[in-house]
Amino acid sequence: MNVSVIQSGGRRGRPKPVPARPTPARPVLTRPALAEPVLTKPVLTKPVPARPVKAYPKYQRLLSVVGGLASLGTSAAGVAVAPVEAKALCAVVVAGSVAVCRRGSRLGVVADRDGLVDRSMGGVRRISWREVRQITVGSGTETDVPDAAGVSVVVLRLHDGQVLRLWGTARHSRASVVEIRQRLVAIQATDVAERW
């Protein structure tokens, strides 16, 4: 007990203790309890690279190679037994047959994070993902009206306004073309994320 003032008096002249006012207790500063961290799957800062897409028209490849080999066989026989005037024509047919076999065996679309390569009988076209504005699924006709055969293809719309049909992705099953399109969109998104 704190004695702040001593009063005189009382029995036997002893001073009488006077209790002091209680001092207010100081608030104790404590930190609020932190919530327990919730363990979750780690957030990836880099997107997972999508698998490359390789789409080939298998029947078209097969037919072009078989047709080219048949033409090569007949024209090679023509070079061997034909008269001199026909040998030049047969040699041209041999060269054409080799070109058809070579190009026909490489038909298709290959896409990875660097871009897209479309190989057709007309040549090879490389397309960067930066050029692509939109990837859709269309029909096998130029007007996007469903054709009688029901063929679907992946259609690229470029920033410069061009519309490209990837014939290597042509399928009778629209669901498989939609799956190819989704994989192409995933690769394009990976490329865009890596550029940022």
Phi, psi values for residue 151, rounded to 5° = -85, 135
Convert the pLDDT of each residue in 66-122 to its tens digit.
888 888 788 777 777 878 777 788 788 888 888 888 888 888 888 888 889 888 878
3-state secondary structure of 190: helix
- Listed by start position, the domains of the chain span 53-106, 111-196
- Express as a percent the part of the chain with pLDDT over 90: 2
Contact 139, 151 (CB under 8 A): yes
CB count, 10 Å around CB of 43? 5
**Neighbouring residues of 169: CB distance < 8 A, sequence distance ≥ 6:** 55, 109, 153, 154, 177, 180, 181
- Structure-token match 């008269």, residue found: 83
pTM of the model: 0.58
Q: In CATH, what is the architecture of 111-196?
A: Roll (2.30)
- How does DSSP classify residue 41? P
Q: Is the pLDDT of residue 162 over 60?
A: yes
Residues β-bridged to residue 163:
157
Task: Give the ranges where the chain is alpha helix by DSSP (H).
Answer: 58-81, 84-105, 174-195
Measured distance CA(78)–CA(71) in Å, rounded: 10
Q: From CA 101, how far away is CA 87, in angstroms rounded?
A: 21
Are 111 and 187 in contact, with CB atoms under 8 Å apart?
Answer: yes
**In which band, very low, low, confident or very high, does the pLDDT at 191 lie, cut at 50, 70 and 90?**
low
Distance CA 117, CA 169 (A): 12
User: Does position 39 have pLDDT exceeding 80, yes or no?
Assistant: no
pLDDT band at 44 (very low <50, low <70, confident <90, very high): very low
Q: Are 147 and 140 a contacting pair, CB within 8 Å?
A: yes
